[in-house]
Amino acid sequence: MAAAARLLPVAAKRLTTTARARRLSTSTSTSPPATAVLYDQHGPPDKVLRVAELPAAKIGERDVCVRMLAAPINPSDLNRVEGVYPVRPPLPAAVAGYEGVGQVHALGGAVDSRLLSPGDWVIPSPPSLGTWQTYIVNPATAWHRVRSDVPPQYVATVTVNPLTALRMLCDFVNLAPGLLSLLSSLFFPCN
């Protein structure tokens, strides 16, 4: 009995070490193939945007594969495609889309499942990851978990429009108690 009691902590440590080593082992999984809206040159969106099938992407040890649920079309998205927005993805084959909401599809082996788990809803943070595609693989640090009890069309727009409204209110308006503010936009479903 005494010998078994002494071996129990050693066995537990060995099991923990083995489990950790397995979790940190090289991942060989891949994402499903994705459908994406992309462009090879800047220009009018109706002329340069195209739908393409992308091959499956390797999910690295610290990566997360996300199935996109919703991604809005902002004026800044169109400006990027046109080439007039200051921040643009590299060409060719730039996937369009700046913000959106997705659902975690798969985790790399070294991603802590206490931070992100399959089924969690996430937004890209920072944005600009090419959200107009069905599946995205990026490092876990590029995703921020959000609530899943809010309609996806609202969560998908949380990155750009509310912050734009905040900047407008802070930079261009003298805020005072009782001030009423109304924001209206075709691209902003949270009027």
- Greatest C-alpha distance within the chain: 78
Element at 105 (helix H, strand E): strand 101-107
Catalytic residue among 39, 85, 98, 154: 85
Cα distance between residue 5 and residue 122, in whole Å: 45
Measured CA to CA in angstroms, residue 111 lies from 15, 66, 67, 152, 161 at distances of: 19, 13, 17, 25, 30
Cα distance between residue 148 and residue 42, in whole Å: 35
Contact 42, 83 (CB under 8 A): yes
Residue 85 is among the residues annotated as catalytic for this protein: yes
Cα distance between residue 144 and residue 156, in whole Å: 12
Element at 68 (helix H, strand E): strand 63-70
Cα distance between residue 61 and residue 170, in whole Å: 41
Active site residues: 85
